[in-house]
Homo-oligomer: A and B are copies of this chain.
Amino acid sequence: MSAPDWRERKKAQTRMRLQEQALRLFAEHGYEATTVEQIAVAAGVSHMTFFRYFPTKEDVVLGDEYDPMLAEAIRARPRTEHPIARIHAAVRQGLVAIYAADREALLGRVQLILRTPALRARLWENQFATRELFEQALAKGAPSMRVRVLAAVCLAALTTALEQWAASGGARELPELIDEAFRVLRRDLTDRS
């Protein structure tokens, strides 16, 4: 049967090579102007191999590897907290970890995504899954209207923070922006204009 160890490693290498070359070419010539064929050649494989590793061209940039970690982080927070505070803390903690390890790469990817219409569109689509994750964190079972709105609102705050971070070119710090966005939810939502 099954998986000899070095073969898995080779696959992982091929995958990483494809992703590296893709991101390099996207940075050099832009997303639309880069063809899958070019990425495959740069990584030394055929274009079919590319699609065996990434179902679409968009997935080489997006790939939602963060959701499981977010889910875990939310579950870890005490259930006595206000639901929005729970999500805030979990998101902060999760993103700060990635941020500390890989700040520049994250910034580059977020910027590329937000400046490319096709990637932006797919990003919102992926957030569908993240929102369901928030909903389940906020309440078990079929979510009520209240839970759905709260989950959507948290996602809106998170997204806004990411956008501001990308727009500032990394001048501001992401954790601060996240705190600022969630502070608006808690404080300013019921105030006057």
Q: Jot down 24 A-B pairs with beta carbons below 8 A, ordered by A.
A: A81-B193, A82-B190, A117-B125, A120-B124, A121-B121, A121-B124, A121-B125, A124-B124, A124-B125, A124-B127, A145-B177, A145-B180, A148-B163, A148-B164, A149-B184, A149-B185, A152-B156, A152-B160, A153-B153, A156-B156, A185-B189, A186-B189, A186-B190, A189-B190
- Given contacts A123-B124, A186-B190, A189-B190, list 12 more A-B pairs with CB under 8 A: A84-B189, A120-B125, A124-B127, A145-B177, A145-B181, A148-B160, A148-B164, A149-B157, A153-B189, A155-B156, A185-B189, A186-B189
A159 within 8 A of B: yes
Interface residue SS majority, chain A? helix
- What 5 pairs between A and B have smallest CB-CB spacing? A124-B124, A152-B156, A121-B121, A149-B184, A121-B125
Q: Which bucket holds chain A's interface residue count?
A: 35 or more
Q: 1/0 per residue A133-164: CB within 8 Å of B?
A: 00000000000011011101101110110011
Q: 1/0 per residue A170-190: CB within 8 Å of B?
A: 000000010011001110111
* Copies of this protein chain in the complex: 2
Q: Are B145 and A160 in contact (CB under 8 A)?
A: yes
Residue of B nearest to A163 (CB): B148
B-side contacts of A123, CB under 8 Å: 124
Residue of B nearest to A85 (CB): B193
